[in-house]
Amino acid sequence: MGTPFNAVLTTAEMSAVFNDNAIAHAMLRFEEALAHAQAAEGMIPLEAANAIASCCRAELYDFSAIIVESRTAGSLAIPLIKALTRMVRENNEPAAGFVHWGSTSQDVIDTALVLATRDALVLIERDLDKLIASLLELAERHAATPVLARTLLQPAQVISFGLKITGWAAPLVRSRAQLGQLAARALTLQLGGAVGTLSIMEEHGEKIAQRVARTLELGVPPAPWHTQRDEWIRLGLEVAVLVGSLGKIAIDVALMCQAEVGELAEPTYNGRGGSSAMPHKKNPVSVMIALAAAQRTPHRAAAILTAMAQQHERGLGNWQAECAEWPELFSSAHGALSALAHAMPGLQINAARMRANIDAQSGLVFSEAATILLASHIGRDRAHALLEELARDVIAIDRPLEAAMQAHLATDTALQKAVDAEQLHRCFDVDGAAEHSAKLARARIAQLRAALHREPSCREK
């Protein structure tokens, strides 16, 4: 339903792809292409096709009245085709008989949804490309910037912020490729006539389908897919996967934007992220939009999956439910994508705070490294036990773990034979720890760039 609460979470561009006008336009494009194809195959007179085509302009119709009628008819197509037929009849009476010839409601509605979806994917890919580009740039810039890795929301070890960002980018690159491949299979013409056999068009069926598809620049499916919608559903699910990957970025950024963490901040522009009550607030509204999308989208995915059990040759309720759910996938996805694509280039990165948060851990995040160093000399059990004991002291008497270990080493002459202070010191080297990540990050950035290069865009397909 069109509510302001939905509007906040999507974009005007995406709303325009699926609104009344766009769908009316797409439905009429289908009818026009069908008439022309049938004329070209000699099924209907050319003059009739021209007369029909001249009436296939959305601005000629009051689509809001058509929607009112569609509630009674149970289908958008029925009143639209009535209105089109009426209009054609006024212009060219005999042509009226050839409107929508041999086709059915589902043909025009499904194909219109395919056309709108193609437009939606152009927006998705455009902003996906932007987001990927800015992430890879950030990853490069911060390839070696040390940051806490956190597991189960607790500090774990040190990685680099660039490596973390490659983790954000990689699934987006994969989604981009998947969307391209699945779109190529799913963005196909629906043309099956009353029950999917195009029987009325007899031997012309296949050729007409090819002509209509060519005109609309759509693929021709191996068979009409009216109640066998798996390829279409896969495309929708990939949008849901993309939103899941955006949600992962968003939750990480949101957590790093917390004042107590302070490692990131969303860019602040005029009017962005303020509060109606508190002058000091800087709310992370881009990630908010992405998080809302990540919460809502799985339920849309479930809804289109639920709708798959479509009865016989046209579903009762499930097809209609799927059509209504479908645009919401893109609505949320583009809201999230454009919000992140807009925020990422200006993301405020506080590398000093990242390091301070590491330092605040008093060396505890190097405990595994230190354990491993000692383990090869005193066995892992003793090493682990020693580290646990020293770790308690870190908290109890606020002494950094390295200091505690060096003090221990100074008194343990046996250990001194195996480990020297310098070796021990290297275990606690923040930049050293990040350097390993930096190597990984740089290799992955190169891989991702190569993958992007290899994969043509959706739009070129």
The two tokens of residue 53 are: 């085509």
When asked if residue 231 is in the footprint of a second copy (CB under 8 A), the reply is yes
One residue of 49, 52, 290, 415 binding a second copy per CB under 8 A: 290
Find the shortest distance in angstroms from Cβ 269 to a second copy. 7
| Residue 23 CB partners (closer than 8 Å, separation 6+) | 76, 112, 113, 116
Determine the residue type at 280.
H
# residues near a second copy by CB under 8 A? 183
Residue 126 annotated in active site: no
One residue of 65, 68, 410, 446 binding a second copy per CB under 8 A: 68
Find the shortest distance in angstroms from Cβ 64 to a second copy. 9
One residue of 36, 211, 296, 442 binding a second copy per CB under 8 A: 296
CA–centroid distance for 449 within its chain: 19
One residue of 125, 264, 315, 419 binding a second copy per CB under 8 A: 315
One residue of 65, 223, 351, 407 binding a second copy per CB under 8 A: 223
Helix axes 230-257, 161-186, angle to 10 degrees: 160
When asked if residue 126 is in the footprint of a second copy (CB under 8 A), the reply is no
When asked if residue 180 is in the footprint of a second copy (CB under 8 A), the reply is no
Nearer to a second copy, 40 or 308 (CB): 308
Find the shortest distance in angstroms from Cβ 338 to a second copy. 9
Within a 10 A sphere around the Cβ of 133, how many other Cβ atoms? 16
Stretch that binds a second copy, among 207-215, 275-283, 407-415, 418-426 (CB under 8 A): 275-283
Contact 100, 31 (CB under 8 A): yes
Stretch that binds a second copy, among 32-40, 128-136, 353-361, 417-425 (CB under 8 A): 353-361
Site string for a second copy, 96-115 (x = CB under 8 A): xxx-xxxxxx-------x--
The two tokens of residue 18 are: 């699926």
CA distance 28 to 16: 17
Find the shortest distance in angstroms from Cβ 397 to a second copy. 15
Residue 275 annotated in active site: yes
Which phi-psi region, left, alpha or beta, contains residue 106 (left: φ > 0; alpha: ψ -120 to 50)? Answer: alpha
Contact 246, 341 (CB under 8 A): no
275, 376, 380, 382: the catalytic one is: 275
One residue of 40, 58, 78, 220 binding a second copy per CB under 8 A: 78
One residue of 49, 115, 136, 159 binding a second copy per CB under 8 A: 159
Contact 248, 237 (CB under 8 A): no
When asked if residue 61 is in the footprint of a second copy (CB under 8 A), the reply is no
Q: Give the containing element (helix H, strand E) for 83.
A: helix 77-91
One residue of 50, 54, 130, 155 binding a second copy per CB under 8 A: 155
In the three-class reduction of DSSP (H, G, I as helix; E, B as strand; rest coil), residue 157 is classed as strand
When asked if residue 341 is in the footprint of a second copy (CB under 8 A), the reply is no
| Residue 391 CB partners (closer than 8 Å, separation 6+) | 364, 367, 401
Backbone CA torsion sign across 394, 398, 400, 404:
negative
One residue of 62, 90, 311, 431 binding a second copy per CB under 8 A: 311
396-455 residues near a second copy, rule: CB under 8 A = 433, 436-437, 440, 444, 447
| Residue 270 CB partners (closer than 8 Å, separation 6+) | none
CA distance 199 to 217: 24
Site string for a second copy, 365-404 (x = CB under 8 A): x-xxx-xx--x---xxx-xx--xx--x--x----------
314, 355, 442, 444: the catalytic one is: 314
Helix axes 77-91, 105-141, angle to 10 degrees: 110
Stretch that binds a second copy, among 124-132, 138-146, 251-259, 409-417 (CB under 8 A): 251-259
Find the shortest distance in angstroms from Cβ 429 to a second copy. 12
CA distance 355 to 342: 27
Backbone CA torsion sign across 236, 238, 239, 241:
positive
One residue of 174, 408, 449, 461 binding a second copy per CB under 8 A: 174
Find the shortest distance in angstroms from Cβ 308 to a second copy. 3
Find the shortest distance in angstroms from Cβ 418 to a second copy. 14
Strands 264-265 and 154-160: unpaired
**What are the catalytic residues?**
275, 314
